[in-house]
Amino acid sequence: MAEDNGMFNVQQTIGSVLCCKCGIPMAPNSANMCVKCLRSEVDITEGLQKHVIIMWCPECEKYLQPPRTWIRAQLESTELLTFCVKRLRLNKFKVKLAHAEFIWTEPHSRRIKVKLTVRKEVLNGVVLEQFYIVEYVQTDHMCESCSRVQANPDQWVAAVQLRQHVSHRRTFFYLEQLILKHDAAIRAIKIKQMDEGIDFFFANRSHALKFVEFVGKVVPIKSRNDKQLVSHDPKNNTYNYKYTFSVEICPICREDLICLPPKVANSLGNLGPLVLCVKVSNSVVLLDPFTLRNDFIDADKYWRVPFKPLLSCKQLVEYIVLDVELLGYELNVAGLRYALADVQVARVSDFGKNDKMTTVRTHLGRLLNSGDYALGYDLYGANSNDIEIDRYKNLVLPDVILVKKSYEEKRQKTRGKPRPWKLKSMNMELDSSSRKLDEEKNTREYEEFIKDLEENPELRFNISLYHNEEYQPSEMAPVTDGEELPSVPLKELLADLDISDEEDGGESMRE
């Protein structure tokens, strides 16, 4: 602007002075010394710790934060870097931290190196910046809880006994994944698989209380606790107890058929009385398959008037769909959409042997088409001794109640092949008194749980699924007739954390 107006513009120049030590030209500062000479005269890292010994527990992989706090941190993590910097106490030497980063070392070397950049005001207000390397040496030292376990593995203080009185373990498979995702049992010193549940042992009563609180948030439970005197010191008036928490999970599971007691049905607005359980969280979601009416029962309301399922998933029968007539009514229940339809079905076992067909109203109108297979309850041939049915005098039971669509016919081609995803599992001890047939039964039930995860996106919403690195996709394109098999999308899978049995004894991976 000044040149356009013909005015003379004076260019500003930065003056330079000679260093009082080496005589080279430099920008002026209050010390009249260049950076090299200033560093040779002043060492701001003098007196700072460059070798530090840190205590590390090899059992639980925690570091000791003096005086008595143990923290968990992975190698080269932000938590470990914060822990290392705090051990130096830089504020004591009036230096400020500008930057910190790890220098790679061999994991088995028991050495951690951190490169630190610090700043400090030196001669006449000049701020000098300098970096140096601190070496941390890991020394094995077991924490109190691990040393107690090593001395006596059975020396627990609190035990949580989870039980569900049903004929399968599907609830515990799902609960196991929730516990792993939220690290709810990370404080457990031992986990033991029992016949109808799981036992968790803790070294502290507060840890057991926190675990019981977590279980109550994900499944409907009722609990009671008791304590047993172990020792007593009359001089100090101290008592040592062992605490036991008995936790019973509601016996109602997903896909169970329930006949509601009249008192419960009236409290839910005359729902049912024949209803299906479509979701179990801290409450039980019930659906009337004939009208799509739905409601939920929380834990307090259920245990006030408890009831058992009329039929469970072990009694499902496979049917083939012959005809579907939609009724045009849809509803979203527990994250899934249902539509009413009149469906004509026949039992697969009777198909071709007799001409017995049944027309039934179902909530699966959006899923079923002619030629599909469905699983349902055969009330015509079922032998049920539920006293709740006898309380309804004018109740007419339908011959069939369909529960879900079946993909067993299409799974025949992929049976035995690995899946592209896998789950983590807890390292549990097996009860010696359990039956030998449990292993085969558990394998079969776990496979059914895996199939439920593939078919139900709402079920796998709260759990973590991981990439299976051993999976090799087939080069040949799969041949499918019509609808494809339900599977887990790749976007829902997490990266494999490379957890092996040698590196982490507490968890393993299952396909």
**Of 303, 408, 399, 384, whose CA–CA distance to 347 is shortest?**
399
Order of strands across the sheet that contains 111-121: 69-72, 62-65, 51-57, 127-140, 111-121, 96-103
Query: Whose CA is closest to 151, among 160, 161, 142, 140?
Result: 142
Reported as a single tens digit per residue, the pLDDT across 125-167 is 777 888 899 999 999 998 877 777 676 656 788 999 999 999 8
Inter-residue contact 485 to 411 (CB < 8 Å): yes
pLDDT tens digit sequence for 82-136: 999 988 888 787 888 889 999 999 888 889 999 999 888 877 677 788 889 999 9
Q: Using one digit for the tens of pLDDT, what is the confidence trace for 381-391?
A: 777 777 778 78
* DSSP conformational letter for 454: H
Q: Cα(170)–Cα(280) distance, rounded to whole angstroms?
A: 12
315, 300 contact by CB (below 8 A): no
* Domains within the chain, CATH numbers bracketed: 17-144 (3.10.450), 153-249+416-429+440-469 (no CATH), 256-413 (no CATH)
pLDDT bucket at 435, cuts 50 / 70 / 90: low
State pLDDT tens for residues 480-491.
455 666 777 766
> Are the CB atoms for 456 and 448 separated by under 8 Å?
no
8 has pLDDT over 70: no
Q: How confident is the model over 203-223, as pLDDT tens digits? A: 889 999 999 999 999 999 999
Give the model's pLDDT for residue 10. 65
pTM (2 decimals)?
A: 0.69
